[in-house]
């Protein structure tokens, strides 16, 4: 059985990769924080900071790893604007460190990136479109892609966006946050001018493992199949979870006053993933329903 190491295993995507790979791979989890209570007690776990080059390489060396998935990132876009050095340490230098670790251990590498490498002027985007990041987060992730490719040209880089899903850790994502707010009867303001392709973490985990099994190399986009604005997505969530959509108030980015500039018309085209690996994401409503079932609702 091949050995898979998931860096960033304590996050939403990392956790769903572990769940999807169980029984198919021997698993090694790694994360900045201590082992979460929801992880199985017998799961091999490493507490390591991806921004610590020598610490990461030392932790992974000699463990017989066949493939590393780097799902670790500083993803709070506004916080990246406030702390750009930390953003670069994790998203740029950390990505490079994961590539060096893969090179030194002889493992393959799948590195997860973002649609924020684009400016959102002409989305949805394919893999051949030219990046032009608008924010510290976007720049740090794009520079991470460059670093990974420079160190390990055979690496797989996978861009995704608007990740959501059920997580026993309780970490918030757009869907869990919105469901919580609506259940409390609280009004929320959601922008109607930021477009993208929301992505179910379970489906993305399946795509990453499919790429690993295919030994695919190079750049891929992996995201949900439906382009919509955040307000429309919020209304769909309210419908699937049987919540009061009247609490959702439409607004615009200009009125919302976010610290970091967001790409307005983004989205990712995933034809390459489908053509090479035969992998397609399920409709968004089905993903939300599956998430609802996982949460026991």
Active site residues: 137
- Expressed in percent and rounded to 5, the helix, strand and coil fractions of the chain are 40, 20, 40
Q: Pull the structure tokens for residue 132.
A: 């032009």
> Contact, 119 vs 71, CB < 8 A?
no
CA angle centred on 78, ends 74 and 80, rounded to 5°: 40
3-state secondary structure 31-90: ECCCCCCCCCCCCEEEECCCCCHHHHHHHHCCCCCCEEEECCCCCCHHHHHHCHHHHHHH
């Amino acid at each position: 059985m091949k050995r898979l190491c998931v860096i960033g295993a304590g996050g939403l995507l990392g956790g769903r990769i572990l769940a999807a790979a169980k029984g198919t791979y021997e698993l090694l989890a790694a994360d900045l924080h201590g082992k979460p209570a929801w992880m199985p007690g017998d799961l091999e776990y490493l507490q390591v900071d991806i921004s610590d080059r020598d610490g990461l390489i030392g932790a992974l060396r000699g463990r017989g790893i066949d493939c590393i998935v780097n799902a670790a990132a500083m993803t709070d876009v506004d916080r990246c604007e406030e702390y750009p050095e930390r953003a670069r340490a994790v998203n740029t230098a950390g990505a490079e460190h994961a590539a060096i670790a893969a090179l030194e251990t002889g493992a393959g590498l799948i590195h997860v990136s973002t649609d924020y490498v684009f400016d959102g002027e002409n989305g949805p985007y394919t893999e051949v479109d030219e990046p032009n990041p608008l924010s510290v987060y976007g720049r740090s992730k794009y520079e991470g892609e460059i670093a990974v490719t420079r160190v390990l040209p055979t690496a797989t880089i996978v861009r995704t966006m608007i990740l959501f899903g059920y997580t026993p850790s309780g970490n918030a994502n757009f869907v869990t946050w919105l469901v919580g707010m609506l259940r409390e009867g609280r009004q929320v303001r959601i922008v109607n001018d930021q477009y993208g392709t929301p992505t179910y973490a379970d489906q993305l985990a399946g795509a990453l493992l499919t790429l690993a099994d295919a030994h695919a190399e190079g750049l891929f986009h992996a995201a949900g199949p439906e382009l919509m604005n955040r307000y429309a997505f919020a209304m769909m969530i309210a419908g699937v979870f049987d919540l009061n959509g009247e609490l959702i108030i439409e607004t615009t980015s200009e009125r919302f006053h976010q610290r970091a500039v967001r790409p307005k018309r983004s989205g990712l085209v995933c034809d390459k993933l489908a053509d090479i690996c035969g992998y397609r994401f399920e409709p968004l409503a089905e993903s939300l329903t599956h998430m609802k079932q996982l949460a026991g609702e």
